[in-house]
Amino acid sequence: MTARMKLKLKTVFVLYFMVSLMGLIYALMQLGQHCDCAEHDLPKDRAISRLQEELYRLQGQIRQLEKAKQPEKKQPPKSSLSTIFVITPTYARLVQKAELTRLSQTFLHVPQLHWILVEDSPRKTPLVSNFLMKCGLTYTHLNVPTAKERKLQEGDPSWLKPRGVEQRNEGLRWLREDRKTEPGDDGQQGVVYFADDDNTYSLQLFEEMRSTQRVSIWPVGLVGGMKFESPVVEGGKVVRFHTGWRPSRPFPMDMAGFAVSLRLVLANPDACFDGEAPMGFLESSLLKGLVTVDELEPKADNCTKVLVWHTRTEKPKMKREEALQVQGLGSDPAVEV
Ligand code: UGA
Ligand code: MN
């Protein structure tokens, strides 16, 4: 009886040993065998090619960064550049976001620029506030409404009343307040430029104006019914102005044609634009409190290059929009344009 049991146990043990051994041999064979199933390789291949792509992309970025770094070597370090404070009046209309987009994307190419955007509005609008937050520039957002009696009404000719006056003055007021508290000489170093939101600005213009000592000037293209208006320079001095209209004005030039040093703005706390100035005298109303013609600093190759254009954007026609609105099919008002 016990001998039979012993035999059975032995058989079970041998069987168990055999099965384990076979399992082990099978496992060893699998390990050594070359697996040609494409399914297994696919994720590995994909990962390799993804890593390769990433490597190429990073190599490209390194090359671009190195290229961008090279011209910087020739320029003075950023902090030694004077800041250009650009004061821009702006008002709500269909093309406003388009104008601000174009303008801000020019400014993004200018080092050390501080944008002072002043809304002609009793409140800061969500459109402009959100726009500024995302624009990537250093900015100050201000607002002041143009007094009702000074505001152009629908249908008025554009020359009837000056535009952007209170807004530019508000920008000057902010600068004087803000810079007063800046300690040392550095806080007063800078240049102030009045850039309307619809003009076209060359990047070169900003480098020309950066060295302004008192008031610098240059030609403006497509303005005053002319191909360009310009100061005329002889022996490095402005001797007269090339303009088609009232050359007898103290400073017969457009707003886009000059920049003022911050120091001069701060040293003359009462200098500002006069909203009551007769047509064409707005620029003179500020400048006559700051400089004489003799002191003007000609830029842009002695005023022989046009680097800013007094472009004006056409008012978009809304005939079809209005027709569809009557039928309740107007463009979705929730989409910001
Ligand atoms: C010309 C000059 O280039 C302006 O610098 C000057 O302010 C203006 O004439 C004037 O005589 O007042 P123009 O193209 O006729 O410019 O004027 P706009 O471009 O219509 O307005 C000048 C600035 O004021 C713009 O930045 C505009 O957005 C702003 N603006 C205009 C307001 O803030 N509120 C308005 O009701 C209208
Ligand atoms: Mn304009």
What are the tens digits of pLDDT across the range 106-119?
A: 999 999 999 999 99
Q: How far is the CA of 243 from the centre of ligand 2 (A)?
A: 18
What percent of the chain is predicted at pLDDT more than 90?
69
Is 283 catalytic? The answer is yes
61 CA distance to ligand 1 middle (Å) = 42
Per-residue pLDDT reduced to its tens digit, 16-46: 656 666 666 565 565 544 434 344 455 777 7
Instruction: Give the per-residue pLDDT at 104.
Output: 98
pLDDT band at 140 (very low <50, low <70, confident <90, very high): very high
Ligand 1 environment, Cβ below 6 A: 88-91, 120, 146, 151-152, 158, 162-164, 167, 196-198, 254-255, 282, 310, 312
CA 250/CA 30 separation, integer angstroms: 97
CA distance 112 to 84: 6
User: How many Å separate Cα 86 from the centre of its chain?
Assistant: 11
Nearest CA among 271, 52, 304 for reference residue 168: 271
Mean of per-residue pLDDT scores for the chain: 87
> What strands, in cross-sheet order, belong to the sheet with 220-221?
200-201, 308-309, 220-221, 228-234, 237-242
pLDDT at residue number 96 = 98
**Who has greater pLDDT, 162 or 39?**
162
Length of the chain, in residues: 337
pTM of the predicted model as reported, rounded to 2 decimal places? 0.79
Which ligand gives the minimal distance to the CA of 142?
A: 1
**pLDDT interval class at 12 (50, 70, 90):** low
In this predicted structure, what is the pLDDT of residue 243? 97
Ligand 1 atom closest to the Cα of residue 167 is 33
**CA of 211 relative to ligand 2 center, distance in Å:** 26
The beta strand positions in the chain, using DSSP E, are: 83-90, 113-119, 138-143, 190-194, 200-201, 215-217, 220-221, 228-234, 237-242, 258-261, 297-298, 308-309
pLDDT average, residue stretch 52-62: 72
More confident residue, 6 or 105: 105
Q: Considering 283, 297, 314, 322, which one is annotated as catalytic?
A: 283
Give, using CA atoms, the residue closest to atom 27 of ligand 1.
90
* Residue where the block lists tokens 């060295």: 211
Strand, helix or coil for residue 51: helix
Give, for ligand 1, the residue of 169, 196, 243, 255 to mutate: max count of ligand atoms closer than 8 Å to Cβ.
196
